[in-house]
Amino acid sequence: MRLLIALGGNAIKQAHERGTAEEQFRNCMVTTRLVAEIVRRMKPEDRLVITHGNGPQAGNLLVQQEMGKEKVPPQSMDVVGAMTQGQIGYMLQQTLTNYMKDMGISVPVCEVVNQVLVSKDDPEFFGEVASKPVGNFFTEEEAEELKREHPEYIVKKVKPVGERAWRRTVPSPAPIANVESEAIRRMVDAGIIVIASGGGGIPVILDEHGHYQGVEAVIDKDLAGEKLAEVVEANVFLVLTDVEKVNLDYGQPAERPIDRMTLAEARRYLEEGHFLPGSMGPKVEACIRFLEWGGEKAIITSLENIERALAGETGTWIVP
């Protein structure tokens, strides 16, 4: 088995939390304890790769920069991505290593500060298309106030229900290639547990000289995770979020969970609009791309159900 796990934001920061280092370390401990149990069951020839989101962390850092900009120069969004990628990777690799030590498991864990190539001509960079939610959720009134203070921001409703359903959105260009793919592949082949493409990777474009250059954007971490799955030749893609199963007709009276989808069914449900953009939509789309590439199965479930989902007892399985 070559397993790629894409951790959702709730694996690191819960929605009701302030986001202190203590809170995030505690959440990472809960997460990596479950991951360590998977490692304990793995065979010597099995491989594990981890990716993760960074939305809450990047959002909080952007707020800090806004409030402190009179004293400390704010950094660009690609640098913020690199900073939070390093922060979360550090927390995950430390807590996972500690749990494995307690279990008597000696497997190296390495976090990679990882760039992902995008196109400068991606439609997300133009007009009001920007679709990736970042930072905190707002009420409609708070969203209107944010827009008045920052007319350059794009603010959208990202949830169909709930009072705090509005967030700032930024360009989310499609990932083209993982820049550090060769280094990651070599480490995985050597048996190292690699944490990479955090927050979707640091978005970069190629300039007129063929050099990499960071851009103001946030790549969807599940779509970038799928590209990472191709790099490491994963056969199982496990997407973790805050629900046990994917729901059809989300937010509607006919809402219902689904246990299993074929690739054709997943494509049809996505086209019919069952999965929200910026929420479940990219997760299902990433699973579709993984299967189209040649993956054996993709699973979407919640963090606490990770072991049961891999055993086929729960979650939404998407198969060819």
Judge whether residue 102 has pLDDT over 90: yes
What does the pLDDT read at residue 141?
A: 95
227 annotated active-site:
no
Calculate mean pLDDT across residues 149-172: 88
Judge whether residue 82 has pLDDT over 90: yes
Mean pLDDT estimate for the chain: 94
* Model confidence band, residue 181 (pLDDT cutoffs 50, 70, 90): very high
101 annotated active-site:
no
Exactly one of 221, 227, 245, 297 is catalytic; name it. Answer: 221
Question: Using one digit for the tens of pLDDT, what is the confidence trace for 183-223?
Answer: 999 999 999 999 999 999 999 999 999 999 999 999 999 99
Judge whether residue 158 has pLDDT over 80: yes
Q: Report the range of poorest mean pLDDT among 14-28, 125-139, 205-219.
A: 125-139
CATH homologous superfamily of domain 2-115+175-319? Acetylglutamate kinase-like (3.40.1160.10)
Q: C-alpha angle with apex 24: 22 to 26, nearest 5 degrees?
A: 70
* Model confidence band, residue 107 (pLDDT cutoffs 50, 70, 90): very high
Judge whether residue 66 has pLDDT over 90: no
The CA–CA distances, whole Å, from 154 to 123, 144, 166 equal 15, 11, 11
13 annotated active-site:
no
Exactly one of 10, 27, 54, 114 is catalytic; name it. Answer: 10
- pTM recorded for the entire structure: 0.91
Q: Report the range of poorest mean pLDDT among 59-73, 201-215, 256-270.
A: 59-73
Judge whether residue 15 has pLDDT over 80: no
157 annotated active-site:
no
Nearest residue to 202 via CA among 187, 214, 191, 186: 214
What does the pLDDT read at residue 250?
A: 83
Exactly one of 227, 245, 283, 297 is catalytic; name it. Answer: 283
> In this prediction, what percent of the chain has a pLDDT beyond 90?
80
In the sheet that holds 154-157, the strands lie side by side as: 132-138, 166-170, 154-157
Exactly one of 27, 55, 132, 305 is catalytic; name it. Answer: 132
Judge whether residue 9 has pLDDT over 80: no
